[in-house]
Amino acid sequence: MKTYNCSTCERELEEREIRYCSICKTILCIDCVRYVGIRRKTIYREYEDTIPVCNNCFPKIRVRGKLAKILDEVFGNI
């Protein structure tokens, strides 16, 4: 059986407990995941959304200006 560990606290996780960082796709547990409010833009409208991120990416995504670029990378395929 495959096991997973949180990349922050290294706790062993069951599959249903796993959360992924939206930026670097690292594995997180529900205690270590952080949610960031972002502004998403489509051709029709702009709206607020929240995405899960890890501790490492949390400071990055809060930097204005970088946000748009990161979102393009993350959501480019949707």
- Residues in contact with Zn ion by CB under 5 A are 6, 8-9, 21, 23-24, 29, 32, 54, 57
Contact 55, 8 (CB under 8 A): yes
Residue 44 CB, nearest approach to Zn ion (Å)? 29
* CA separation for the pair 37, 74 (Å, rounded): 15
Kindly tell me which of 12 and 48 has the beta carbon lying closer to Zn ion.
12
The pair of structure tokens assigned to 27 is: 């594995």
Nearest residue (CB) to Zn ion, 29 versus 74: 29
How far apart are CB 45 and Zn ion at their closest, in Å? 27
DSSP string covering 47-69: EEEEEEE-TTHHHHHTSTTHHHH
**CB of 62 vs Zn ion, minimal distance in Å:** 13
CB-wise, 23 or 70, nearer to Zn ion? 23
